[in-house]
Structure 1
């Protein structure tokens, strides 16, 4: 895992925080179709961040 074994969960948390902050901006977009596409992309981004954060809990 290299010299920093906690790097992957840290990046996952950064992705989740980015997801939450970006969601605040997406809700104010003027067109519905842009919001839907943005939310779908953000949810995919958040799922990757969630897996990266909690992958070593087994």
Structure 2
């Protein structure tokens, strides 16, 4: 996924935006355990998106 450098940055940014928007829906989940699990998953996705976006700027 993302062999072209410009596409990799685009995919990473898209992952970060999706994570932020999804977090708005996760906060309304009824069970605390489900919210915690969803936030952990969103954190992992955001970390991957951050690395994909900023890996070429080091």
TM-score when normalising by structure 2: 0.92
Structure number with bigger Rg: 1
| Runs of 5+ consecutive residues of structure 2 not aligned to the other structure | none
- CA offsets per residue over residues 27-49 of structure 1, 9 Å max, x none? 00000000000000000000000
| Runs of 5+ consecutive residues of structure 1 not aligned to the other structure | none
RMSD: 1.5
Matched residue count: 57
1:38 and 2:38 matched: yes
- 1:6 Cα offset (Å): 0.3
In 1, distance between residues paired with 2:42 and 2:57?
A: 24
TM-score when normalising by structure 1: 0.92
1:13 and 2:44 matched: no
In 1, distance between residues paired with 2:55 and 2:32?
A: 34
Write out the 4+ residue segments of structure 1 that deviate beyond 2 Å after TM superposition.
none
